[in-house]
Amino acid sequence: MPDCLFCRMVAGEVPADVVHRTDRVLAFRDINPQAPTHVLVIPRDHHPTAAALATADPGLLAEVVTAANTVARQEGLVTDDGTQPGYRLVTNTGPGAGQSVDHLHFHLLGGRGLGWPPG
């Protein structure tokens, strides 16, 4: 996927503010944060959407979600002390929903009140 921005970030060709990595998952801060915590969590392999990854490699989809929760814990959004600030994990799918990068990414958002329904 030579023209994929996130593949280039995985390859180290484009800088990323990495907050967590595993052998198959990368998490880095969004360049245009919409909340105090705004981290993108992606599989290193290129898959366009969550549904595509669920079909191709459901175990990897689970690893991405687990990595997101690990980052949320690092960011103080998941705690053991009874306070649960919480977080939102969303993936825009298709241009009508705002997907601008065709490589699956979950937005991990937290650190402020998050309204519902979202815009």
We find the least distance from the C-beta atom of residue 102 to ligand AMP, in angstroms, to be: 8
Residue 101 binds to ligand AMP (criterion: CB under 6 A): yes
Q: Three-state SS for 110?
A: strand
Residue the block writes with tokens 């919480």: 86
Q: Which of 32, 82, 113, 119 binds ligand AMP (CB under 6 A)?
A: 32
Q: Is 103 a residue of the active site?
A: no
Q: Judge whether 38 and 109 are in contact, CB under 8 Å.
A: yes
Residue 1 binds to Zn ion (criterion: CB under 5 A): yes
Residue 107, strand partner residues: 40, 90
Q: CA neighbours within 13 Å on the CB side: how many for 43?
A: 23
Residue 46 binds to Zn ion (criterion: CB under 5 A): yes
Residue 105 binds to Zn ion (criterion: CB under 5 A): no
Count of beta carbons in the 10 Å neighbourhood of residue 46: 16
Q: Which among Zn ion, ligand AMP, none contacts residue 32 (Cβ within 5 to 8 A by kind)?
A: ligand AMP
Q: Which among ligand AMP, Zn ion, none contacts residue 103 (Cβ within 5 to 8 A by kind)?
A: Zn ion
List, by residue number, the catalytic residues. 105
